[in-house]
């Protein structure tokens, strides 16, 4: 029972991270029908910016942890937003009316470029860090111990997802975003600046990925230029599993994959956990091709 709870928390925090990244994939897919292959790299950059900010904050003599964390969060969200915006401008917008293969290739190019760029300026070796948020919450007389970082990851993710869902479902901006997803020409006729909404979608996705990057850095205490690849693949899988284009789907997909990984690693061993993940994906897609929460097309248009 205690062991189960332990794995549950591990799985949920991991799933939260995948979910945060998956939202970026699913929103970009929703609006331009493209997989943004550079998105995993944006997440990786978010982790690096958080780390650099942490070191800078330390050098400045700021030792109060909440302030340090807040600064890290703000800096990584800001920088990745700029990266996300730039990626769209450079790799996607010029190719918007080209055949679909062209932006796909430029996206992969962008991904390789960003990886190499970080490798070049930050070095290829992993960056270990002192634990910033040490300590555990112990439950059930010490049988279950949950690190504060993992708890914080879950709580912050829940808050972000709530805020984000409100933004998309309740505000004029969110409506404009959904309108562009459904019919860009019509949205334009009604006065929506479609290019700006697309940019904004990249920026929002990047900012959420930055949070994921920062939390991973805090949990594992070590990052390198290559972490974006596997996390990107997993988060993309989460988006497909949940139903690509669906926001709640991305969150659910992330949690499902996080839980599978944690329980597989906890009960069976960590060797085959990625295989398990992808097997589940294949099974779900066989029985529900649109993903768990993907919408079947029933509207008459």
**230: which strand partners?**
none
Return the number of the residue (95 or 187) whose C-beta is nearest other proteins: 187
- The residues of the shown chain that bind other proteins, judged by CB under 8 A, are 172, 175-176, 178-179, 182-183, 185-194, 295, 298-301
Distance CA(126)–CA(221), nearest Å, equals 10
**Residues 6 or more apart in contact with residue 267 via CB below 8 angstroms:** 7
Distance of closest approach, residue 180 Cβ to other proteins, in angstroms = 10
Do the Cβ atoms of 69 and 132 come closer than 8 Å? yes
* Continuous H helices in the chain: 2-32, 39-59, 65-87, 101-122, 148-170, 172-182, 184-189, 194-220, 227-242, 247-267, 273-287
Distance of closest approach, residue 299 Cβ to other proteins, in angstroms = 3
Residue burial 140-171, b: 16+ Cβ < 10 Å; e: rest = eeeebebbebbbbbbebbeebbeebeeebeee
Distance of closest approach, residue 292 Cβ to other proteins, in angstroms = 18
Distance of closest approach, residue 143 Cβ to other proteins, in angstroms = 47
Return the number of the residue (228 or 242) whose C-beta is nearest other proteins: 242
**Residues 6 or more apart in contact with residue 65 via CB below 8 angstroms:** 132, 133
Q: Can you spell out the DSSP letters for 270-301?
A: GGGHHHHHHHHHHHHHHH-TT-SSPPP-----
From the list 254, 292, 291, the residue with the least C-alpha distance to 19 is: 254
Cα-to-chain-centroid distance, residue 196: 22
Return the number of the residue (127 or 175) whose C-beta is nearest other proteins: 175
């Amino acid at each position: 029972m205690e062991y189960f709870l332990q794995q549950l928390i591990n799985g949920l925090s991991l799933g939260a991270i995948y979910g945060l990244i998956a939202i970026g994939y699913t929103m970009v897919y929703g609006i331009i029908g493209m997989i943004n292959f550079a998105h995993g790299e944006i997440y990786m950059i978010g982790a690096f910016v958080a780390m650099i900010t942490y070191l800078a904050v330390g050098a400045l003599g700021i030792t109060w942890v909440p302030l340090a964390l807040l600064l890290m969060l703000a800096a990584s969200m800001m920088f990745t937003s700029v990266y996300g915006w730039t990626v769209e401008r450079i790799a996607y917008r010029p190719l918007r009316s080209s055949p679909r293969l062209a932006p796909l290739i430029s996206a992969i190019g962008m991904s390789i470029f960003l990886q190499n760029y970080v490798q070049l300026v930050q070095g290829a070796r992993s960056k270990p860090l002192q634990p910033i948020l040490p300590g555990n919450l112990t439950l059930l007389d010490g049988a279950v111990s949950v690190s504060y970082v993992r708890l914080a990851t879950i709580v912050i993710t829940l808050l972000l997802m709530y805020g984000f869902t409100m933004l998309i479902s309740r505000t004029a901006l969110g409506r404009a975003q959904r309108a562009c997803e459904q019919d860009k020409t019509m949205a334009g006729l009604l006065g929506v600046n479609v290019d700006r909404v697309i940019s904004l979608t990249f920026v929002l996705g990047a900012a959420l990925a930055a949070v994921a990057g920062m939390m991973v850095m805090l949990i594992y205490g070590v990052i390198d230029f290559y972490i974006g690849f596997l996390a990107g693949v997993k988060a993309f899988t989460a988006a497909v599993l949940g139903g690509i284009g669906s926001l709640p789907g991305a969150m659910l997909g992330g949690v499902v994959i996080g839980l599978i990984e944690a329980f597989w690693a906890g009960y069976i061993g960590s060797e085959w956990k990625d295989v398990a993940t992808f097997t589940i994906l294949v099974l779900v897609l066989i029985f529900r091709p649109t993903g768990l929460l993907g919408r079947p097309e029933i509207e008459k248009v």
